Amino acid sequence: MKVISFLNPKGGSGKTTAVINVASCLARGASVAVVDTDPQMSLTNWSRTGDASASFDVFTAASEKDVYSVRKELGAYDYVVIDGAGSLSVITSAAVMVSDLVIIPVTPSSFDFSASGAVISVLEAQAFNRPVASRFLITRKLEQARMLAVLKDSIAQTGIALFRTSIAQRQSYVKSVFDGVSVFETSDGAAKGEIEILTKEIINTFE
């Protein structure tokens, strides 16, 4: 069992969209549980929207206690994917503590890269206990060379590695989430392709 958390207190960094699509991809070859820790419950609501039911089970964490117990309660799944809360909270610390891999989604258009610093602080505090692997993930990527260069420079300064695969800004992500499905239920081959390669990169971090 591997626990993967998508954490960034900055709302709009693409956490929920990434979780839905990566979990859908993982679920094609493994059993997957997704834990929604956001009080806004966007992922839980998404799972109640779709015509076709999600290919993974969705659990809603009511408090950090639910997050601390995922290794025990959801130990039967191959992967547990945690969708982080929109604001930094005790839930972020709990998620880091139970994770095998922490993914920090960041967008090039956001002027708030510093929000991810809060996750790095939690990771550093946790490292005294048990170090947790972490990676940045660029989401909502636009072909804006200068913006990307600034973002990549900020990431490099943290010393945390960046996934080679990014998630591009695509209408199919917005529409599929609205429809309660993933991009695998759309005809967007580019979106499906990048999620597949990203998911392989994620799995490879465990090898």
Asked if 15 is part of the footprint of Mg ion (rule: CB under 5 A), the reply reads yes
* Residue 50, binding choice from Mg ion, ligand ADP, none, Cβ under 5 to 8 Å by partner class: none
Amino acid at 129: N
**Non-local CB neighbours of 99 within 8 Å, separated by 6+ positions:** 3, 4, 5, 82, 132
Of positions 24, 173, 182, 192, contacts ligand ADP by CB under 6 A:
173
Of positions 89, 121, 126, 169, contacts ligand ADP by CB under 6 A:
169
Question: What would the DSSP string read from start to end of 25-60?
Answer: HHTTTS-EEEEE--TT-HHHHHHTT-SSPPSSEEEE
Q: How far is the CB of 101 from ligand ADP (least distance, A)?
A: 17
Which residues, 23 to 52, sit near Mg ion by CB under 5 A? 42
Asked if 192 is part of the footprint of ligand ADP (rule: CB under 6 A), the reply reads no
Instruction: Rank residues 8 and 187 by Cβ distance to Mg ion and give the closer one.
Output: 8
* Residue 173, binding choice from Mg ion, ligand ADP, none, Cβ under 5 to 8 Å by partner class: ligand ADP
Q: How far is the CB of 170 from ligand ADP (least distance, A)?
A: 5
* Residue 177, binding choice from Mg ion, ligand ADP, none, Cβ under 5 to 8 Å by partner class: ligand ADP
Asked if 39 is part of the footprint of ligand ADP (rule: CB under 6 A), the reply reads no
Of positions 30, 149, 174, 190, contacts ligand ADP by CB under 6 A:
174
Question: What would the DSSP string read from start to end of the chain?
Answer: -EEEEE--SSTTSSHHHHHHHHHHHHTTTS-EEEEE--TT-HHHHHHTT-SSPPSSEEEE--SHHHHHTHHHHTTTSSEEEEE--SS--HHHHHHHHH-SEEEEEE-TT-S-TTHHHHHHHHHHHHHTTS--EEEEEE-SB-S-HHHHHHHHHHHHHHT--B-S---B--HHHHHHHHTTS-GGGSS-HHHHHHHHHHHHHHHHTT-
Stretch that binds ligand ADP, among 58-66, 91-99, 165-173, 179-187 (CB under 6 A): 165-173
Asked if 94 is part of the footprint of ligand ADP (rule: CB under 6 A), the reply reads no
Which residues of the chain form contacts with Mg ion (CB under 5 A)? 15-16, 42
What does the binding site for ligand ADP look like in residue numbers (CB under 6 A)? 11-17, 42, 86, 139-140, 167, 169-170, 173-174, 177
